[in-house]
Amino acid sequence: MKLFVKLAVFFAAVTATLALSAAELRYVDAQTLTHLGKLFKTTNPYHRVELSQYPDLTPKESELLSYPSGEAILFETNSTELWVRAKTGGMYPMNGMPNYATLGYTLYIENEKGEWQWAASHSRGVGDDKSGKKKVEMPLALVKNMDGKTKKCLLYLPLYMELTHLDIGVVEGSELKGVENPFRHKIAVFGSSFTQGHGATNSGQTYLGFLQRSTGLDFISFGMGGNSKLQPVMARILAATDADAFVFDAFSNPSIKQIEERIHPFIKTIQASHPGKPLIFLRTIYRENRAFDTAREKREQERMEYVDALMAKIVKQYDDVYFIDVKNQTGTDHETSADGTHPMSWGYYRWAKAIQKPLVKILKKHDIK
């Protein structure tokens, strides 16, 4: 009985402490801060495209574009704690992927050297709690016990979960404000699940995230897991942006026949709206699941060889079209795969480093630096 009383007192004290902590927080709509990773104004601010304007998008394409993959919230605060609180729509938890990437938030803080330093990655689980509330909509602490000095914060949003509203929580009485976007230019990147970040450890460790933080350039994701197939509708969407440059992870999903039929109309549609702007195509990466599967090996190699030959002709045929044909982007030690198809974060880091130099060189040629 005495043990029961002691436990009851202990849990009452913990509950009171948690309640006090919650009462000392104030939440601010993230839309009053600085929202990165967008090329369109949308009714739902976390969708990447105004979906109703493109009725020929398939249900899957619409779903993928409703996720804020690559988007981030930028702000300054002197709060000693940072929290998030969300309202959510659909979600797509991935087998084998951590919730930190699919449903979670990753925080980087600018350190004294002016570099973006990882600070936190946290998420809730799927499903409902005992009271019937969505777990992903419960307040989530990102970091506590900071020193109270003003910090510039970069908060990456979930890769595979739709947001309908997001609040940033800080300690009552502390400052919280948006700041000017430090990333230069607008570079639209259309691609596969690689570009969306499948396999990444957290939402900030995609190859675009690594490129953004290391170059200072603003890479904006149109990653569409399994649905980067040079679709005419995506060409129209990209043509409608005000991007300064375009990068395409365009050869990871489509078949040889789809590439052959779609590549020229895709290029022409975008160039008609963006004459003189660089269109930069990337070689797809080596998929580790082909190593001992002879059928996969044959299929993957045939597609790579076809694309190499095709792009050698296309870069001569069209002005301002480029092909970055770096091989072995994720290394040759075969130690970077998450699932045989997608890299884990270490592989995405290597990929970013492998293409950074030729990519930056092309962009500089167009005064994008």
Mean predicted confidence (pLDDT) in 110-133: 93
280, two tokens: 């930069």
pLDDT at res. 98: 87
pLDDT at res. 125: 86
More confident residue, 109 or 13: 109
Question: What is the pLDDT confidence band of residue 322, given thresholds at 50, 70 and 90?
Answer: very high
> pLDDT tens for residues 18-73?
434 444 999 999 999 999 999 999 999 999 999 999 999 999 999 999 999 999 99
CA distance linking residue 207 with residue 199, whole number of Å:
11
Strand extents, DSSP E, 172-320? 176-177, 184-191, 217-223, 245-248, 279-282
Question: What is the pLDDT confidence band of residue 348, given thresholds at 50, 70 and 90?
Answer: very high
pLDDT at res. 9: 38
Sign of the torsion formed by the C-alpha atoms of 312, 197, 352 and 354? negative
Q: Is-contact 318 265, C-beta < 8 A?
A: no
Query: Of 334, 16, 22, 27, whose CA–CA distance to 166 is shortest?
Result: 27
pLDDT at res. 20: 40
Instruction: Supply the mean pLDDT for the chain.
Output: 93
pLDDT at res. 238: 98
Q: What is the largest CA-CA distance in the chain?
A: 85
pLDDT at res. 132: 87
Mean predicted confidence (pLDDT) in 203-218: 98
> pLDDT tens for residues 240-259?
999 999 999 999 999 999 99
Radius of gyration of the chain (CA): 22
Question: What is the pLDDT confidence band of residue 6, given thresholds at 50, 70 and 90?
Answer: very low
Mean predicted confidence (pLDDT) in 222-240: 97
CA distance linking residue 208 with residue 190, whole number of Å:
11
> pLDDT tens for residues 149-196?
999 999 999 999 999 999 999 999 999 999 999 999 999 999 999 999
CA distance linking residue 144 with residue 142, whole number of Å:
7
> pLDDT tens for residues 123-147?
998 888 888 899 999 999 999 999 9
pLDDT at res. 228: 97
pLDDT at 1 over 60: no
